Chains A and B, each alone.
Chain A
């Protein structure tokens, strides 16, 4: 089992969600996050005083999936989140040791 984590542009969330549904994902978890990367921040000016805002708002999407489904999920995110401009984000995949569905107590692939 794997955890796929993607950091994307906030306005791409709906496209990514639809693409993941189409790729067969059973569920996703979304968080609003901030960070910086190559994109950098921006400058704001209040009464002539300049503020450098380093952190850029992003959305983080998490999906747990069977090993065999991971490539389709990653491809779906790349295809739906890309704009070709700097700041499109990143995707990483990590191993998951254990998954439990809280309602039933099912574990492993049954809990996905």
Chain B
């Protein structure tokens, strides 16, 4: 048992936990005031439901040793007998850390489907999604065949961001656009909340990425620096293009760019060094801003840009790792720019495509099944009234 490593992983679990309420406020500020409690609720509810599912069965299905690269086993149901899972940190520290990843991943989807999901159906959606999509993908990427194939994902570029980004798209296609989308303005109701949420996400992401070293060592320190620099340059990249293309550097742009940089550095955090995080962050800021145009072109009401930020940001980071991975930072693989040839890039590409395709197909099936049985979407009156009153019988702001 290494007490230093254990302390850092336990601390990181708390940091990652904090990201989910951070995400709630990041998203909550961007919706209209009649939907803000609905958005906050969808996010914090994931902390309740997904944590429970993780303890009951999720952890065992991802990290139980099923003897294959596809799925775990049922040896650790209800977190039974996990004390010896990992070498120098307690199994329970790893359980706690990984639980927070399982919680925030489905919560990322809520930004795309804002203002129109029936709450009970949302609960079914993320419950099924956690078991049928997150569990297998996390197994493959962190502990299974995608890892064995040689693809790298330090903290969840494929398993979390591509996975959730593609799932968001699938649910948007099933549930349809908000009523009035494209016709009436739907501006953010409270950008200060969004900026606050961004600060919490940025802070928590330090634990998300550097905690993934599972040790208090040089790789974790490199991951802290990389994470912070990618957020910084993500912000600069986004603001630069935004200023050129639409005339102003906006607060929402600064927040969005920082998150885009954080998403892109996630798979790379413990594998790159030097100027690489600056390049990866800048690329994410620029490309994620440009990707905002995708939803307009396709008429997808990805309300808060989960595709542009998480899917595109996740793809940018996953592929750039194939170029920038550096064995002097972490003895895994060298990318194309460090003499490793094209092999890693090819593996990264395969991982991105497989995770994306699997997530889309299964998420689409889950959403369709819910839609045709209990319904996925609130009716027109409820949507006009807002999630807060129609789903929760509350109002966020009273005079």
Instruction: State whether B185 touches A51 (Cβ < 8 A).
Output: yes
CA distance A44 to B253 in the complex (A): 13
Residues of B within 8 A of A45 (CB): 246-248, 250
Instruction: State whether B188 touches A46 (Cβ < 8 A).
Output: yes
Q: How far is the CB of A58 from chain B (nearest CB, A)?
A: 19
Number of chain B residues close to chain A: CB under 8 A: 16
Instruction: State whether B292 touches A46 (Cβ < 8 A).
Output: no
Instruction: State whether A47 touches B256 (Cβ < 8 A).
Output: yes
Q: Does A84 contact B (CB under 8 A)?
A: no
Instruction: State whether A48 touches B246 (Cβ < 8 A).
Output: yes
Instruction: State whether B289 touches A48 (Cβ < 8 A).
Output: yes
Number of chain A residues close to chain B: CB under 8 A: 10
State the majority secondary structure of interface residues on B: helix
Residues of A within 8 A of B305 (CB): 47
Residues of A within 8 A of B242 (CB): 48
Q: How far is the CB of A87 from chain B (nearest CB, A)?
A: 21
CA distance A49 to B252 in the complex (A): 12
CA distance A102 to B227 in the complex (A): 66
CA distance A36 to B331 in the complex (A): 65
> Which residues of A (42-74) have their CB < 8 Å from a CB of B?
44-53
Instruction: State whether A47 touches B253 (Cβ < 8 A).
Output: yes
Residues of A within 8 A of B245 (CB): 48
Q: Does B339 contact A (CB under 8 A)?
A: no
Q: Does B187 contact A (CB under 8 A)?
A: yes
Given contacts A45-B250, A46-B252, are A51 and B289 in contact (CB under 8 A)?
no
CA distance A45 to B245 in the complex (A): 11
Q: 1/0 per residue B231-269: CB within 8 Å of A?
A: 000000000001001111010110010000000000000
For B253, the closest partner residue in chain A by CB is: A47
Residues of B within 8 A of A51 (CB): 185, 187
Q: Which of B185, B247, B252 contacts A47 (CB 8 A)?
A: B252
> Which residues of B (278-311) have their CB < 8 Å from a CB of A?
289, 292-293, 305
For B289, the closest partner residue in chain A by CB is: A48
CA distance A72 to B232 in the complex (A): 59
Q: CB within 8 Å of A: which residues of B? A: 185, 187-188, 242, 245-248, 250, 252-253, 256, 289, 292-293, 305
Q: CB within 8 Å of B: which residues of A? A: 44-53
**What are 7 A-to-B residue pairs whose CB atoms are below 8 Å?**
A44-B187, A47-B256, A47-B289, A47-B292, A48-B242, A48-B293, A53-B185
